[in-house]
């Protein structure tokens, strides 16, 4: 049975491992020390965002990270589902859905008006998960400019 709960300091290593795998899968270069600093910052300040872990028994098999922003587009507090990653061997078995359900519950509990996310164009399985949960695609392109 998959259980989902907020990550604690005990889960730090598992979160780092899974998030590094997620970023590598997406081709996003991020030095290990920068990822560790970001995870530590999230664990230290829950107002910034929350890491959730999915466990199968004692094993952490999935992770999600949701951050919070004050968005004019949504009229106030909103959530940004930045990462949702499930070990490849367990994809298609409901782990991602369980994580997403908890993200939505957490956002509602915090009073968020909406949850935003992005999906890589070639990740049809992920897009299907989000569509089943009531998300709709924007006809926008996300742009980024690293500052450091």
Q: Are 88 and 76 in contact (CB under 8 A)?
A: no
Please say if the pLDDT value at position 148 is more than 80: no
Q: How many Cβ atoms are within 10 Å of 93's Cβ, its own excluded? A: 14
Q: Are 10 and 59 in contact (CB under 8 A)?
A: no
- pLDDT of 8 reads 95
Query: Would residue 37 count as lying in a domain?
Result: yes
| CATH code at position 67 | 3.40.630.30
Tokens encoding 72: 């004019």
- pLDDT of 1 reads 86
User: Residue 4: which pLDDT band, with cuts at 50, 70 and 90?
Assistant: very high
Query: Would residue 38 count as lying in a domain?
Result: yes
- pLDDT of 144 reads 84
Tokens encoding 21: 């795998």
H or E stretch covering 15 = helix 12-26
Separation CA 86–CA 18 (nearest Å):
8
Query: Would residue 32 count as lying in a domain?
Result: yes
How distant is the alpha carbon of residue 95 from its chain centre?
A: 13
Please say if the pLDDT value at position 145 is more than 90: no
Query: Which tens digits make up the pLDDT trace of 6-49?
Result: 999 999 999 999 999 999 999 999 999 999 999 999 999 999 99
Query: Would residue 113 count as lying in a domain?
Result: yes
Query: Would residue 145 count as lying in a domain?
Result: no
- pLDDT of 146 reads 81
- pLDDT of 48 reads 94
Query: Would residue 139 count as lying in a domain?
Result: no
- pLDDT of 82 reads 95
Query: Would residue 141 count as lying in a domain?
Result: no
Residue-number span of the structural domain to which 109 is assigned = 2-132
The total number of structural domains in the chain stands at 1
Query: What is the average pLDDT across 57-64?
Result: 96
Query: Would residue 140 count as lying in a domain?
Result: no
- pLDDT of 86 reads 97
Query: Which tens digits make up the pLDDT trace of 78-116?
Result: 999 999 999 999 999 999 999 999 999 999 999 999 999
- pLDDT of 139 reads 86
């Amino acid at each position: 049975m998959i259980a989902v709960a907020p990550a604690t300091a005990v889960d730090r290593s598992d979160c780092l491992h899974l998030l590094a795998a997620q970023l590598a899968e997406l081709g996003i270069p991020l030095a290990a020390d920068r990822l560790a600093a970001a995870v530590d910052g999230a664990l230290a300040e829950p107002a910034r965002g929350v890491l959730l872990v999915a466990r199968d028994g004692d094993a952490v098999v999935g992770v999600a990270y949701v951050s919070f922003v004050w968005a004019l587009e949504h009229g106030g507090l909103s959530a940004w589902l930045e990462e949702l990653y499930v070990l490849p061997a367990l994809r298609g078995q409901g782990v991602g859905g369980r994580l997403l359900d908890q993200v939505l519950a957490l956002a509602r509990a915090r009073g968020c008006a909406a949850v935003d996310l992005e999906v890589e164009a070639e990740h049809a399985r992920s897009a299907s998960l989000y569509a089943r949960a009531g998300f709709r695609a924007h006809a926008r392109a996300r742009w980024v400019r690293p500052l450091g």
